[in-house]
Each structure stands twice: as structure tokens, then as C-alpha cells.
Structure 1
Amino acid sequence: MSTKSKIALVTGGSRGLGRDMIVNLAKNGNNIIFTYHSNKSEADKVVSEVLSLGQKAVAYPLDLGNIKTFDSFVQQVSEYLSEHAGSPNFDYLINNAGVGLYGSVTDTTEDVFDTLMNIHFKGVYFLTQKLLPLINDGGRIINISSGLTRFTFPNVSAYASMKGAIETYTRSLAKELGSRQITANSIAPGAIATDFGGGSTKSDKNKRNAVASITALGRVGEPEDIGGVVAFLCTSEAGWVNAQRIELSGGMMV
């Protein structure tokens, strides 16, 4: 890796929002480390795309819900960076990996609740904790929340609650890491047309129309509406943005 390029670590980068974040970060001249859950072929495509943009990329499998694997993952990252960048440190952490599981308050099982908690909150909390020693002073942490922390629909209580926790956690990060000049912000996408949570926002025409009807800009969001904002938050121009929740919903339910 070139020492001139900053380095971003993105979780959940093989498709959807994560992939678009990676592409935009690479277009801004950043080298990339990212994780994927199981789809190596899609991850390899993203690596190739970053290489075609003239930046370096490497992908590692990681189950964000299995905290016991974090130490070996952090060691992998540290060893890779030491070899290829001359230092085990990186600059930007984007906690994007997630899973869409939904159910009513009365029907949500403990297993579903625990899966959501482990991936969306506990996993983010402790992966960040373990990576903090590797993040350069002056770096950035961006956590992915959801528009569902401001507005709500049926069947999202557990998922939305984890994202509410992430927003509170992000403000605490900003407070505690200020002495290192590391900023922490959360972005809160609205309904985005990806495969997430079964992909209905991408494929269900009725749902798309319903979302468009309650969105000021009159359409469903696309991954391309999100990645550029994440890349912006990893620029010098965004250095004074800190402890903020930035909603990217096109004006849903305003």
C-alpha cells in the first residue's frame, strides 16, 4: 500500500451499501480493507473494482455476531498492514455490516433478538474496542444507524432498538476519543433498494411506491445515495463534523 493513501476498514462490504461506500472511498484515493460474511465471489469482485480504481484492497471473512473471532481478525489486519503499509495502523473505521430480521413485538423470539444485538450492537461495540489501538489519531469512525430511530413501522422494534443504541454509543465514542482527534458520527439511511432484509425495497413495486409517497424527493433510496456521504465524512473537509446523526432518507416522513 502507498503510504500516501489513507486506509479505510469497512465491515460488510461485498454488496449493497458497503460496496458503494468502498467504491466511493477508493475514488477518493483511499486504500481498502473490508469484511464479508460468506460470499467470497462477490467480495472478490469488489476487490477487483477497487484495484481498477488504482487503490489497494483486501477482503477478510468475518462474522460480526461471533465476538470470539475478533482477536484473530484484528491480528490479521495488523499483520497485513505492517507488511504492506509499514505500520499496523489505519485511518477510517466504517461499521456497516448488518442483517435485516423483522417481527412484531409479540412474535420476536429471543434468538432473533440476540442475533440482532450481537451483530448490530455488541459486535460493533467490541470490534471497535479491539480496533481502537490501530486507528490513527485524527481518524474517523462512522457507524450505520437507520431512519427507523426517528420514525417507525410495524415489525421493526428489535432492529430499530439496536440502531438506537448505536446512536447513543456513537456520541460516547466522540466524547471519549476527542483527545485523539478521532471523530465519530452515525449515518441513518432511510429505505434503500438493496438485498438487505429480503430485498423487498428493491423488488416489491407496492412497497417502493409506498416509500416514494412518504418521501419528499418522491423515490426510494439507492446505494449510490449513501456511499458518497460516507466518503465525504472521511475527508479533511468533514473534520469538524462530530457526534452527529446524519439521516440519508430523501426526506422520509417529514
Structure 2
Amino acid sequence: MTKTTQTIALVTGGSRGLGRNTALSIARQGGDVVITYQSRREDAMTVVAEIEAMGRKAVALQLDAGRIASFPSFAESLKAALYQTWQRDTFDHLVNNAGHGDYALIGETTEAQFDRLVDVHFKGVYFLTQTLLPLIANGGRIINLSSGLTRVSFPGYGVYAAVKGAVEVLTVYMAKELGKRGITVNTVAPGAIETDFGGGAVRDNPEINKIFADMTALGRAGVPDDIGPMIASLLSESNRWVNAQRIEVSGGQGI
């Protein structure tokens, strides 16, 4: 499998937040995009329309990133979309972005909360990537989303940060094993961002927003436009030698 000139990126969780911004940023840089959504089909189709308005191609597919048993059927849907839209049997870049926040102190976390965070943010990333490896073109890119909370602690996000830490380790092993195919694998770790993540806590709660702003060298919380363009640039040929790295994009949070 070899790459063609036109690149196609798959962004999981692309109907909202950082995933949406990343998909739009990739399109602005001339790439085509497949996005996934869990339940917000209307929002996903809005993103598709925005990308198509730029003159790029886009497709939206349903995916629950924590339901591992659904991944083989998702891969079949992706194969069909690649052929119908691009007449290709591979795509170039995988951005494992889909996720959720679940605030709970260690003494209060339920097993259901724990399991869902593991399934979506670690087990799902592992097995979705495994399932899609035959469809990723040689010389492609994989980006796994982590969090600034693996370096700077904030009470209530212990499990979330722990599974993101596992993804950071997994990224290094992916880079080692996939290097023979010319595929780079990196982690992008955003700081606190104003999205609807975690119920919109950073965006909508002035007190929480100020806490993170005061922790950040640039004096504010982040916004999606701080992250999406950076991820898009990491997918470009100009960053082809960046591999097996954890890249924090936080404005200097907690330094």
C-alpha cells in the first residue's frame, strides 16, 4: 500500500470540540477528511458541509469509540466510503480524538465510570488502531490525543489522566512497531480548552476557567483554534521526522 498525492485523514469524534476544529483545520490545509460521531449526526453533517464548502471531500460515519465489538463493521463501512468517495482502499492519517470527561474523586469513582474511561480512551484507541492498520497507507501518520493532566494534576480527573498516560506509553510502542511501514505515531496533549468537554466546565464555569488561566504562562485557557491547526500541521510533510513524541499544546500550563 502506498500513498497517493491527495491525503485523507480519519478524525474520531469529529462532530464537535477539538475533533471538529481538527477536521476543519485539515481541510483548510488541503486535506480530505472522514469524521466519526457517536450520536450527533446532524452536527457531523454540518462539519461535512463546512469542509465541502472549502472544496474538499468529507464523509461522516457513526462510531462508538468505546464499543470494541463494533470496530470490524466500522472498518467495512470505512472501506466502502473510501472506495465510493475517493476510489481508494486506504487512508493516510488517523487522529484518535474521540473521548469524554468524567469528573470523580478517587474515593467516589464507580466501576462503571472507570470502565467507560478505559474503554473509550485506552482500549478503544488500541483496538481501533489495530483494526484499521490494514487500511492505513504506508508513510501515514497516527496521532493519539492525551491531556496536559498527565503532567499537571487536577483533583477529580485521576482515572482520565491515568488512561491518557497509558496512551502516551502506547504511542511510543506503536511508533516502534509501525516504523517499518514509515508510519509515524505521536501524542498531542492539550491543556485546558474551552469546549463542551466535561460538561463545558472550562468554557462555561468562570471559576474553573480562571484557575487554569492562572496556571498558564500565557494567562488564559486554550480555545479549539489553539489545537486543531497544530494537529493539522503535524500531519504535514514538514513534520515527517517527528515521531514517538508527546507534544503538549497548553500555552505553558503549570510551568
Shorter chain as denominator, the TM-score bin is over 0.9
| Corresponding position: 1:145 with 2:134 | no
TM-score, normalising length: structure 2: 0.97
- Is the 1:35–1:62 Cα contact (8 Å) retained in structure 2? yes
Residue in structure 2 matched with residue 169 of structure 1 by the alignment: 170
Quote the offset at 1:154 in angstroms.
0.7
**Residue 36 in structure 1 maps to residue 37 in structure 2:** yes
**TM-score of the pair, normalised by structure 1:** 0.98
Q: Partner residue of 1:85?
A: 86
What whole-Å deviation, never above 9, does each CA across 1:105-150 have from its counterpart, x for those lacking one? 1111110000000000001100000001111110000000000111
| 2:52 alignment counterpart | 51
Once residues 173 and 239 of structure 1 are traced to their aligned partners in structure 2, the CA distance between those partners, rounded to angstroms, is 16
Q: Which one-letter code corresponds to 2:230 in the other structure?
A: V
By how many angstroms is 1:86 displaced?
2.2
State the distance in 1 between where 2:33 and 2:18 align: 15
Q: Which amino acid is 2:192 matched to?
A: A
Give CA deviations for 1:208-232 in whole Å, capped at 9, x if unaligned: 1121111000001000000011101
Alignment of 1:85-124 (within 5 A): 85-124=86-125
Paired with 1:250 and 1:220, the residues of 2 have a C-alpha distance of: 8
SS, match of residue 142 in structure 1: strand
Post-superposition, which runs of at least 4 consecutive aligned residues in structure 1 deviate over 4 A? none
Q: Say which SS state the counterpart of residue 179 (structure 1) adopts.
A: helix
Distance in 2, matches of 1:6 and 1:50, equals 14
CA displacement at 1:83 relative to structure 2? 2.7
Unaligned runs of 5+ in 1: none
| Residue aligning to 1:23 | 24
Cα distance between partner residues in 1 of 2:14 and 2:214: 30
Please list, as runs of the form range in 1=range in 2, the aligned pairs for 1:85-234 lying within 5 A after superposition: 85-234=86-235
State how far apart, in whole Å, the 1-side matches of 2:75 and 2:54 are: 26
Deviation at 1:84, TM superposition (A): 2.6
CA deviation vs aligned residue, 1:171-208 (integer Å, no higher than 9, x gap): 00000011111000000001000000110100111111
Aligned to 2:73: 72
Whole-Å Cα distance in 1 between the matches of residues 195 and 211 of structure 2?
16
| Equivalent-residue separation in structure 2 for 1:75 and 1:235 (angstroms) | 27
Could you list the per-position Cα deviations for residues 7-28 of structure 1 after superposition, in whole angstroms to 9, with x for gaps in the alignment?
0000000011000000110011
Residue 4 of structure 1: CA displacement?
3.9
Structure 2: tracts of 5 or more residues without a match: none
Distance 1:84 1:19 in 2: 20
CA distance in 1, matches of 2:88, 2:52: 21
Describe the superposition over 1:144-163 as per-residue Cα deviations: whole angstroms up to 9, x where unpaired. 00001111011111100100
User: Take 1:117 and 1:66, find their aligned partners in 2: how far apart are those partners?
Assistant: 11
Report the aligned-residue RMSD.
Answer: 0.8
